[in-house]
């Protein structure tokens, strides 16, 4: 088996076993799934700090997968990384390490370069068929509803704004005054819902997507991969991952994808 195949097998097993792990092991597994190259490059102490768990949790995760210890699991990721070109996760990790202690100007440089990496990663990894399907759903819907809570709210607002300003019927489900459920239940069969939520996921967004799916509303989900609870309700899902700088996630790649959805829906025949 090639190094890439061994890594893919490891990551597939993490995905499949995720739901049956303890909460702490789930947290560690998610971080490895989201950042496999960081997991290859970091010490167990560095990786545990990034994942928000104790080093012993990573050791127990490796043992749960049949490895004697963390270093044995890490070697699978290291071997695959050694045969690959510099990837998204590796470049983000290296940039964070290189920019420490440079003050505000250093932060500006890091933020700019991280956002460039996020945009290139979006271009490199987007599923063309899924993107075309999402655009077609939005173009065909008589009314597009958009929901995004917390830090996803600006992305949702942009999509609703862009569609409405261009003459497409759209509405932002803001949940003002605790009315989100009431707003959700005004959706009708044939409408479309765009829902944006990344880990840690918004329960309100998950519930909105589930209600829409159960009532004949097509759901376009912008989320972050195979563990997202939105996938169960999505007609089509788009994987978008912005880099984080000191715990603050960028919205650049999400906004770029939102812009593409708006323009694509408006230009569709």
Q: Each residue of 13-69: pLDDT tens digit?
A: 988 889 899 999 999 998 888 778 778 878 888 888 888 999 999 999 999 999 999
**Which position has the token pair 């061994």?**
6
DSSP structural state of residue 52: T
Average pLDDT, the chain: 86
Q: Measure the CA–CA gap between 94 and 91, rounded to whole angstroms.
A: 5
> Structure tokens of 164?
């409405």
- Residue 34 is predicted with a pLDDT of 79
Does this chain's domain 3-82 share its CATH topology with 128-267?
no
> Structure tokens of 239?
């994987």
CATH fold of the domain at 3-82: Arc Repressor Mutant, subunit A (1.10.10)
Residues in the chain, how many? 269
CB 145 within 8 A of CB 188: no
Confidence of residue 8 (pLDDT cuts 50, 70, 90): confident
Confidence of residue 78 (pLDDT cuts 50, 70, 90): confident
CB 254 within 8 A of CB 240: yes
DSSP structural state of residue 42: S
Q: Per-residue pLDDT tens for 142-190?
A: 999 999 998 899 999 999 999 999 899 999 998 888 889 999 999 999 9
- Residue 85 is predicted with a pLDDT of 45
- Residue 86 is predicted with a pLDDT of 47
- Residue 67 is predicted with a pLDDT of 92
CATH class of 128-267: alpha beta
CB 219 within 8 A of CB 205: no
> Domain residue spans in the chain?
3-82, 89-116, 128-267
């Amino acid at each position: 088996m090639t190094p890439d195949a061994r890594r893919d097998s490891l990551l597939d097993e993490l995905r499949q076993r995720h739901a049956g792990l303890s909460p702490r092991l789930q947290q560690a597994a998610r971080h490895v799934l989201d950042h496999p190259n960081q997991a290859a490059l970091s010490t167990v102490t560095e990786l545990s700090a990034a994942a928000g768990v104790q080093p012993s949790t990573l050791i127990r995760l490796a043992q749960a997968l049949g490895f004697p210890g963390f270093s044995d699991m890490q070697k699978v990721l290291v071997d695959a990384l050694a045969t690959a070109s510099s990837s998204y996760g590796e470049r983000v990790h290296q940039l964070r390490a290189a920019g420490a202690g440079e003050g505000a100007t250093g932060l500006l440089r890091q933020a700019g370069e991280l956002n460039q990496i996020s945009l290139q990663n979006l271009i490199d990894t987007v599923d063309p068929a899924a993107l075309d399907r999402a655009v077609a759903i939005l173009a065909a819907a008589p009314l597009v509803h958009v929901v995004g809570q917390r830090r996803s709210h600006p992305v949702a607002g942009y999509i609703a704004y862009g569609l409405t300003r261009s003459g497409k019927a759209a509405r932002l489900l803001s949940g003002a005054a605790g009315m989100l459920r009431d707003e959700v239940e005004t959706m009708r069969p044939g409408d479309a819902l765009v829902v944006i939520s990344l880990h840690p996921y918004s329960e309100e967004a998950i519930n909105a997507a589930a209600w829409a799916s159960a009532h004949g509303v097509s759901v376009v989900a912008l989320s972050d991969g195979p563990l997202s609870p939105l996938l169960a309700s999505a007609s089509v899902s788009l994987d978008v991952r912005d880099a984080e700088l000191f715990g603050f996630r960028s919205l650049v790649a999400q906004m770029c994808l939102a812009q593409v959805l708006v323009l694509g829906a408006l230009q569709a025949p």
